[in-house]
Every structure is written in structure tokens, then in C-alpha cells.
A = this chain, B = another copy of it.
Amino acid sequence: MRATVIHGEGDVRLEEVADPVLHSGRDAIVRVVAACVCGSDLWPYRGVGNAPEPKRIGHEFVGVVEAVGDDVSEVAVGDFVIAPFYDCDMTCANCVNGVSTSCLDGGWWGADDREGHLADGGQGERVRVPHADGTLAVVPGPVDPALVPHLLTLSDVMGTGHHAAVSAGVREGSTVVVVGDGAVGLCGVLASARLGAARIVIMSRNPARQALAREFGATDVVELRGDEGIAAVKELFDGIGPDAVLECVGTRESMEQAIRSARPGGQVGYVGVPKGGAELPIGELFGRNVNVAGGVAPVRNYIAELLPEVLDGSLQPGRVFDLELPLDEVAEAYLAMHERRAIKSLLRVSEV
């Protein structure tokens, strides 16, 4: 089969690789229908962090089950499924506590599982899925092909935006600021609106992203950054700042802006993968009782809550995809996001 391999900075290639096989009775093989490129895929693509080596990549996908091991009971051949951006058993103490990203038996796409077998990357034609009963969420069929982009967001970006909003304590009537106008930030706007926020500010300088944010429920746009951006935000909220700030970037600067924007007693929900060794300034947090919550989003746990609204059409997070390409053109899918020509690229791999 063909799958995406990252070879180094700016170098992703679709290559012929070994077909996946069932290694355990708990495995399934999924034929990928659609996958996408994550903002976090861009970090190795940009040469940030460890030097990339040839490595399978991609961790967001939906597809149809082609084979299951003998011990799989919740998922059947032919089911349309959503895979979260990690695998998890959904039975361990952490999964039961709602934190499936800390699954005691879990792992990551494109890396070896705990038995030493590769869990394929998501940007390919097929994927072997460890402990499929836990990892995969079945979408009741038949699945309308038009819903595929929206369903695909439950694999990561919508669940992650939702985690930012939940972690920031967004509820009915909350005042919210979203730092970051990427796909996660935009989904954070949508999640905040869905949770009943009274007012939602997006920090953005990009007209197209501002427009989508407004369609997702943003009530205000602030284009300023740094001290000026913080002052503008405070002015919107009685001079003290909003109840909740969603940090959806992951740099030291964005986190500091988020913390300093929140009102005393406010809460920062963060989901941006921390980069640059940023530590949290405890003195600033302590003096103003600003809380910090979040982390790597347990999106598998959120699918049950979000899926019904995607199926009935009331939640349309797939609108963050503004570029759709066949799997062949995965290199362009990365490049367009890297150059900020696209918010988020969807890869069509096979028919529903």
C-alpha cells in the first residue's frame, strides 16, 4: 500500500510500504477514507525539535473496517469509524477517568505499539489499529459522504478545540478569548459557542480566518498582539479581562498572552503542544488566581458527546478544511499549510 513518510525538513513523500496485518486478536485493519494534516505535523516538517528521520506520519483519519482480530467485539468489518490521534483501550483507569491520552496501554500512530509492532501513520491507505474496541468510534451507517470532513475533525481538531474550551471552564454566559486562529483555535471558538459563551473574542490578523471565526460564533476580533492586544482585550471586559482564555498555539509568547489576558480568578485552557521550553510564571498565576488547565486532548472521550451533533448537521467543524486533495498530493497539503495558504488540508484517500 501507499503511505506518507517524512524524510526531513520540508520533505514528505507518499511511498510504497508493507500492507498492515493483524498482530493481535484486539487489532483491526482500517481502510482510510480521509485523513488530514495537523498543525503539529508541521513542527517536524519545519525542522523544529528532533531532526526528522524517515518516519511514517499522520494521526487523524476516518475509514472503513476491513478486518478485525478474534477478540474484537465492538467493531465489525464494514463499520465506518473515527480514530482519535492516538490509540487507547478505554478500559484502564485513566481512560475511565476521561483521560484516554494517558491510556496505560495506549500509543501513537506512526510509532511502535507496546508489543513492538508499527501502528501505521494515518496519512496512508490502510492502518493497523491496536485494541480496536477502545480506539475506534463507530459511526452508525450509512454515512453521508458529505459528513466526512466533519467526522474527521472528531479525530483531533474539534475534540482539541472542545478540550481547550472545557479546560478553560467555558459555560453558559462565559466571556472568552481565543489565542490562535489556526484550525484548533477556530474549533475552540465553535466549541465555546456550543457551550453557551456569551461573548467570544478571536485574536487574529487574517481576514479569512476572522470571517470563519465569526461564522463559528466569535463576536469580536482583536488584531493587536502583545501588551497592546492584552490591553484591547481587557478593555472589552470591564477592564479586568475575560473569564476564560483558550491557548491554541503552544509558544511561550502565546501562553504569556493568554495568562495575562485572563481576569483574576479566570482560567486558561491550553492545548497547544508546548514548545521552546516555556515554563509557567507561577508568581503571575498566584497573585491573580489565574488557573491553567488542559493538555493533550483526550478526544476519544469526547466523541460520544460531539458525534450526534455532527450527524444531525448542527455542528459543522469540517468547515476548517479549506483545501482538499487526493492522497497523491500530500506534499502540497503540507506546503499549503506551511505557507499559510490553507488553514487545514484534507486528504481524500478512498470512497466511503
Contact = CB atoms under 8 A, between A and B. Distances in A.
Interface stretch (A128-136, A273-281, A305-313): A273-281
B280 A282 contact: yes
Contacts of A282: 255, 274, 278-280
A323 B97 CA distance: 43
Max count, chain B CB within 10 A of own CB: residue among A97, A167, A264 = A264
B288 A294 contact: no
Given A97-B265, A291-B293, A295-B288, A280 B283 contact: no
B285 A289 contact: no
Contacts of A255: 282
A164 to B, nearest CB: 12
Contact of A102 (B239, B264, B293): B264
B102 A291 contact: no
Interface string A85-109: 0000000011001110110100000
A352 B102 CA distance: 56
Interface in A57-94: 93-94
A238 interface: yes
B296 A94 contact: no
Nearest to A289: B295
A291 B274 CA distance: 15
Interface string A236-252: 00111000000000000
Nearest to A292: B292
Contact of A286 (B238, B264, B273): B273
Contacts of A102: 264-265, 287-289
A263 interface: yes
A94 B291 contact: no
Copy tally for this chain in the complex stands at 2
Contact of A94 (B263, B273, B278, B286): B263
B93 A289 contact: no
A286 B292 contact: no
A167 B239 CA distance: 24
A93 B291 contact: no
Contact of A238 (B93, B267, B283, B295): B93
Contacts of A294: 286, 289, 291
A98 B265 contact: yes
A143 B133 CA distance: 63
Nearest to A298: B289
Nearest to A283: B274
A15 B93 CA distance: 59
Interface of A: 93-94, 97-99, 101-102, 104, 167, 238-240, 255, 263-265, 267, 270, 273-274, 278-283, 285-296, 298
Given A102-B265, A102-B287, A291-B293, 7 more contacts: A94-B265, A102-B288, A279-B280, A285-B295, A286-B295, A290-B295, A291-B292
